Amino acid sequence: MKKLLLITVISASLMFCQSPKEKASENSNETTVIGYEFNEAGEKLNLIGGDVLITDIYLRYIQAHNDKNVSKIYEMDTEDIIIKASNGAVFNGRDSHKEQLEAWFASSDPIWSVKWMVANTLQGKDGENESWLTTGVDKVEMVAGNSVKKHHVLDVHFVDGKVKELNVYDRATEQE
């Protein structure tokens, strides 16, 4: 009985010491749905993992904001960009965006720090896919002489490597 117990323990130890083998999936080339979006008609559209290369574009976009380089931001916006701010304001077109940024940069000197990014692709019913980035950033700006920090979650739509739409949601950060 002791020999049987010893053989069992040794066998179990050897099995657990082996490196796990990667399991090949028959479906490895299939697209993985990571979520859904509902369009204006209420149709459920698939969200799939997106191209992470858009994160590089976004990081350059944020750096241009931190550098207060309005010309660079202007170049990175599509001509018909739509920006939906968290306060309900909507800015249409890159000329409007440029004007708003110039006034904002002069009055409150905002600085952004990217905390996370998730690239995703919206699969359209018509076969047209859209590249989106959902990202979280901390923004610090001067308001009435006080430093105010907010956390923003943004949905950013990219077309041909440029920002087409930007939706901003925010909350005040915890006070220490």
pLDDT value, residue 31: 79
Beta-sheet pairing, 77-84 with 162-172: parallel
For 50-83, letters b (16+ CB in 10 Å) and e give beeebbebbeebbebbeebebeebbebbbeebbb
CA 142 from centroid of its chain's CA atoms: 25
Q: Domain spans of the chain?
A: 52-116+132-172
* 52-116+132-172 has CATH 3.30.420.40 classification: no
Q: Which residues contact 48 (CB under 8 A, 6 or more apart)?
A: 31, 32, 33, 34, 120, 121, 123
- pLDDT tens readout for residues 44-70: 999 999 999 999 999 999 999 999 999
Instruction: Assign 140 to helix, strand or coil.
Output: strand
> What average pLDDT does range 1-12 have in this prediction?
47
How far, in Å, CA of 63 to CA of 68, rounded?
8
* pTM of this structure: 0.79
How far, in Å, CA of 92 to CA of 76, rounded?
15
Per-residue pLDDT for 150 more than 90?
A: yes
Instruction: Say if residues 153 and 126 touch (Cβ distance below 8 Å).
Output: no
Q: How many Cα atoms are found within 13 Å in the side-chain-facing hemisphere of 51?
A: 13
- pLDDT tens readout for residues 108-148: 999 999 999 999 999 988 888 999 999 999 999 988 888 88
